[in-house]
């Protein structure tokens, strides 16, 4: 099949769907096409937020975005911030609810977000071509895209193909990124982010399946890289849960050797916790260490922390002295795990790195070297924290690229 488009949007994910709708709404006379590799649009979007889609965040603070030049995203958010995202989704029938700063569709169904975007594409006349994986792009005065079953000629091209997170099943092929890299586009090394960490397993294996709220800190040597307080899940390979995903980014960026430290009492100072343990020991001196923390923290977690401190669980609480109380308090506030690696792109929520933002103008998202070539979403070297920031970037950049494309034609 041959197609001719005024605007070709490559990729029918989050940024591609909003880009196509925005372009068509701004100028209904333009022919706008989405070319999507998979048999449906929005396959990744359906999986977001555990099927609930954490669609955006009430507080789109720029410090929550990363990349070699993270301030690149500011123009897009100044133009298309939380209020504009909310207003856009209102027009396609998606109401918002929030849990703290995290915002979800009121249906709490990610699939409903995809449906609403799909319905709007159909209503306004965006053409969607499915099962069309673009394998080649000619960058000239106009753009020629080729898949094994179609050729597309377009006056403007918006690249919305994402990167590697989530794997092929959700369309994260990364082939368009590689294609541009081979064409000489400057790129920034790609690594998984918002990903589970593989650690030394002596202690995590014994805690497999336990969830605990903790302040998780990523350390490089003694230097604190970042911290986040939320749930941590112990797995046989290492650590997972929201707190770990949030601090995972830097440990996958280089080989410097990182440690995760867990603080199960982030609001309590060591001396205060020491005193509490001392009082508890006086009260429960008849118990063995195996039972010491029963009723206070997770039994197995307490036992493993005590083993980590070097105690035998059969020892009596009465055998502890002042330095032991401090030692236990310190371990409960800094239970450390050496990071070995991570669970990879397949299990990550976002890819850090991508096409360098130097290649694009932050005010328009147009390529600096190719007129009417635009990029949006994860393919660019911008990634966000957990909490709706990555979809927010997809919405803001997709809408802005589309607006610029329409203005430029
Ligand atoms: C499990 C999971 C949960 C997540 N949860 C959240 C969340 O709750 N909140 C949040 O903010 N972020 C979340 N994210 C991140 C968020 O989904 C992504 O950052 C966002 O979807 C990126 O949008 P995008 O448009 O750049 O790429 P994508 O949404 O990945 O879309 C890219 C599209 O391009 C298509 N494509 C790729 N290559 C080609 C090609 N060669 N030819 C044609 N089509 C192609 C793909 O099939 C895909 O449909 C989650 C990610 C994962 C993996």
What was the pLDDT predicted at 140? 83
Calpha distance 356→229 (Å, rounded): 31
**Class (C level, CATH) for 2-192+352-408:** alpha beta
Calpha distance 33→128 (Å, rounded): 6
Looking at domain 196-343, its CATH architecture is Orthogonal Bundle (1.10)
What was the pLDDT predicted at 262? 97
Per-residue pLDDT of 390-406, as tens digits, reads: 999 999 999 999 999 99
CA nearest ligand 1 atom 38, residue: 161
Calpha distance 305→290 (Å, rounded): 11
What was the pLDDT predicted at 254? 86
Please, are residues 91 and 51 in contact by the beta-carbon 8 Å criterion?
A: no
Pocket of ligand 1 (CB under 6 A): 10-16, 35-38, 43-45, 47-49, 53-54, 133-134, 160-162, 165-166, 171-173, 175-176, 349-350, 377-378, 388-391, 394
Low-confidence ranges of the chain (pLDDT < 70): none
Query: How does DSSP assign 104-138, residue by residue?
Result: EETT--HHHHHHHHHHHHHHHT-EEE-S----EEE
Is 158 in a helix, a strand, or coil?
A: strand
What was the pLDDT predicted at 255? 80
Q: For residue 6, what is the DSSP state?
A: E
Calpha distance 58→61 (Å, rounded): 9
Is 330 in a helix, a strand, or coil?
A: helix
CA nearest ligand 1 atom 51, residue: 349
Please, are residues 260 and 198 in contact by the beta-carbon 8 Å criterion?
A: no
Please, are residues 88 and 117 in contact by the beta-carbon 8 Å criterion?
A: no
User: Which residue intervals of the chain bear CATH 3.50.50.60?
Assistant: 2-192+352-408
Picking from 186, 275, 260, the residue whose alpha carbon sits closest to that of residue 227 is 260
User: Which residue intervals of the chain bear CATH 1.10.8.50?
Assistant: 196-343
CA 165 to centroid of ligand 1, rounded, Å: 8
Pairing between strand 223-234 and 335-342? Answer: unpaired
């Amino acid at each position: 099949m041959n197609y001719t488009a005024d605007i070709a949007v490559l990729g029918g994910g989050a940024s591609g769907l909003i880009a196509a709708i925005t372009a068509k709404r701004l100028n209904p006379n333009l022919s706008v096409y989405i070319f999507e590799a998979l048999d449906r649009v929005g396959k990744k979007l359906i999986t977001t937020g555990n099927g609930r889609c954490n669609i955006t965040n009430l507080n789109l603070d720029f410090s929550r975005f990363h990349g070699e030049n993270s301030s690149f995203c500011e123009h897009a958010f100044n133009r298309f911030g939380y209020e504009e995202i909310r207003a856009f989704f209102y027009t396609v029938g998606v109401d918002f609810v929030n849990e703290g700063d995290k915002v979800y569709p009121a249906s709490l169904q990610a699939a409903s977000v995809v449906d609403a975007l799909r319905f709007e594409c159909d209503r306004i006349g965006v053409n969607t071509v499915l099962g069309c994986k673009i394998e080649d792009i000619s960058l000239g005065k106009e753009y020629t895209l080729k898949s094994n079953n179609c050729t597309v000629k377009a006056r403007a091209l918006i690249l919305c193909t994402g990167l590697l997170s989530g794997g092929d099943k959700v369309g994260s092929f990364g082939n368009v990124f590689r294609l541009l890299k081979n064409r000489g586009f400057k790129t920034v090394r790609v690594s998984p982010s918002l990903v589970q960490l593989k650690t030394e397993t002596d202690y995590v294996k014994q805690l497999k399946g336990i969830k605990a709220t903790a302040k998780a800190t990523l350390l490089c040597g003694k230097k604190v890289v970042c911290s986040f307080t939320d749930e941590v899940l112990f797995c046989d390979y290492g650590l997972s849960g929201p707190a770990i995903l949030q601090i995972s980014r830097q440990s996958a960026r280089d080989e410097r050797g990182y440690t995760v430290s867990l603080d199960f009492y982030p609001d309590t100072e060591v001396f205060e916790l020491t005193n509490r343990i001392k009082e508890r020991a006086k009260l429960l001196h008849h118990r063995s260490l195996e039972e010491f923390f029963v009723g206070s923290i997770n039994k197995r977690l307490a036992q493993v922390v005590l083993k980590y401190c070097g105690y035998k669980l059969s020892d009596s609480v009465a055998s502890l002295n002042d330095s032991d109380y401090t030692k236990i308090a310190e371990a409960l506030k800094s239970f450390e795990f050496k990071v070995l690696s991570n669970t990879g792109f397949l299990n990550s929520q976002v890819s850090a790195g991508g096409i360098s933002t130097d290649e694009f103008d932050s005010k328009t998202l147009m390529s600096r070297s190719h007129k009417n070539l635009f990029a949006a979403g994860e393919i660019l070297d911008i990634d966000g924290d957990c909490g709706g920031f990555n979809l927010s970037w997809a919405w803001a950049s997709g809408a802005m690229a589309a607006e610029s494309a329409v203005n430029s034609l």
